[in-house]
Amino acid sequence: MNLLVRTKQKISQFFNVFFGKRVCRIGIYGPPNAGKTTLANRIVRDWTGDAVGPVSEVPHETRRVRRKQDITITGKNGSSITFDIVDTPGVTTKIDYKEFIEYGLEKEEAVKRAREATEGVAEAMHWLREDIDGVIYMLDATQDPFQQVNIMMVGIIESRKLPILIVANKNDLPDASPARIKSAFPQHPMVAISSLEGTNVDELYEKMTAYFR
Amino acid sequence: MPHKCTQCGREFKDGSTKILKGCPSCGGKKFLYVREAGRHDDVLEEKSIEEIARDTGEDVLEVREDRKREEIEVFERIESIRILAPGSYELNIEKLARSDEVVVGLEKEGRYMVDILSMARKRK
């Protein structure tokens, strides 16, 4: 099976090069600390055995956009898609170094992190403007989804006419409420997962093969 | 063989990193390296460490605070507007001219407000 998938991947890569077809780029967007990099790591590990980047409980761990190319995932019915996964820094409207100091960072380091995080937001938005074909919008299911930044981001992605898959993450936590996430964005398909524990990611892969084509 | 603070005489173990930030007791910045033989000279001879240093002509270790990092020049900043205080602004003309993306800096470095909508617009 694995060999078959790999052969298929090679053939599709060959055709992509030959006909100049660009691989679909799926961006993982969402507020800081939603678990974007944890999910990106899981997708990449499940399908290529590699990793994307480090994760941490301190917000804004990912401050540069990271891309992993040519990932092919196959659903149960055999349909597969090949895409690049783009892990982006958390998009937020306010960044304050004092927040990082609460996590035990030294002031100078916290100020630097705030600066890099701000540049990261700009970079994430730049990718969204230029290079993204589909979006996984990731939310922490234990948090209130009705925040201005989420409403605004989903609106921006909709206005670009990009397909959005809402992912309600952190369902391993007791106070997670995927229903609340669903009620916030009923117009888009949603999957409730735990990217840390890997719960329900198979359903996510199914939805991805069906939705991003 | 320890260091002693020239100001209050507090003794520090050899190789102690505590003194790099100044004496924790009195905040003194100068330390004399005393030999084992002369370790109690200050008490026995009723002299201050400073006097011993002067008498023996030994060099005194002076720790300086790290020089504060220079303020980042306006043109290197990431924000287009900085609000120093209510009613007091600094404009980053170069950044404003270069792009429509608006990042507002608040007070000193490290606090930012990001205008996501301005970053979502396609450039004309």
Predicted local confidence at residue A22, as pLDDT:
62
* pLDDT for residue B32 is more than 80: yes
Specify whether B14 is located in the same domain as B50. Answer: yes
| Closest in B112, B113, B117 to A152, CB measured | B117
Ramachandran angles phi, psi of A212, nearest 5°: -95, 80
Q: How many domains does chain B have?
A: 2
Distance from CA of B2 to the nearest CA of A (A): 30
ipTM score assigned to the predicted complex: 0.70
Specify whether B51 is located in the same domain as B25. Answer: yes
Predicted local confidence at residue A12, as pLDDT:
62
Whether residue B8 is contained in a domain is answered as: yes
Q: Does A151 touch chain B (CB under 8 A)?
A: no
Predicted local confidence at residue B10, as pLDDT:
84
pLDDT tens-place string over residues A73-99: 888 888 888 999 999 999 999 999 999
Specify whether B50 is located in the same domain as B81. Answer: no
Specify whether B78 is located in the same domain as B48. Answer: no
Specify whether B55 is located in the same domain as B16. Answer: yes
Alpha helices in A131-200 (DSSP H): 148-159, 178-184
User: Which of these CATH numbers, 3.20.20.70, 3.40.630.10, 3.40.50.300, 3.40.50.10490, describes A21-211?
Assistant: 3.40.50.300
Give the tokens for residue B94. Answer: 């170069």
Model pTM? 0.70
- Cα separation, B13 vs B18, in Å, equals 9
Contact A93 B109 (CB under 8 A): no
pLDDT tens-place string over residues A25-74: 999 999 999 999 999 999 999 998 888 889 999 999 999 999 999 999 88
Residue that the structure tokens 């270790």 belong to: B61
Instruction: Give first-to-last CA distance, chain A, whole Å.
Output: 22
Whether residue B17 is contained in a domain is answered as: yes
Structural domain containing residue B101: 74-120
Distance from CA of B43 to the nearest CA of A (A): 40
- Cα separation, A142 vs A144, in Å, equals 7
Q: Does B110 touch chain A (CB under 8 A)?
A: yes
Task: Tell me which chain A residue has its CA closest to the CA of residue B116.
Answer: A93
Work out the angle at residue A145's Cα, subtended by the Cα atoms of residues A190 and B78, and round it to the nearest 5 degrees. Answer: 110
- Cα separation, A43 vs A51, in Å, equals 9
- CA B45 to each of CA B49, B51, B56: distance values in angstroms, whole numbers, following the listed order: 10, 10, 13
Predicted local confidence at residue B109, as pLDDT:
79
Contact B119 A125 (CB under 8 A): yes
Specify whether B11 is located in the same domain as B55. Answer: yes
A125, A126, A132, A136: CA torsion to nearest 10? -20
Whether residue B68 is contained in a domain is answered as: no
Residue A9: pLDDT band (50, 70, 90) is low
Percent of chain A with pLDDT strictly greater than 70: 90
Predicted local confidence at residue A185, as pLDDT:
95
* pLDDT for residue A19 is more than 60: no
| Residue B72 DSSP SS3 | coil
| Closest in B78, B116, B121 to A152, CB measured | B116
Residue B96: pLDDT band (50, 70, 90) is confident
How confident is the model over A94-112, as a mean pLDDT?
91
Contact B78 A149 (CB under 8 A): no
Whether residue B103 is contained in a domain is answered as: yes
How confident is the model over A174-199, as a mean pLDDT?
94
Specify whether B47 is located in the same domain as B95. Answer: no
Predicted local confidence at residue A16, as pLDDT:
55
Residue ranges of domains in chain A: 21-211
pLDDT tens-place string over residues A158-171: 999 999 999 999 99
Ramachandran angles phi, psi of A125, nearest 5°: -70, -35
Q: Does A64 touch chain B (CB under 8 A)?
A: no
Give the tokens for residue B48. Answer: 């201050």
Whether residue B24 is contained in a domain is answered as: yes
Whether residue B112 is contained in a domain is answered as: yes
| Closest in B111, B113, B122 to A93, CB measured | B113
- Cα separation, B15 vs A206, in Å, equals 61
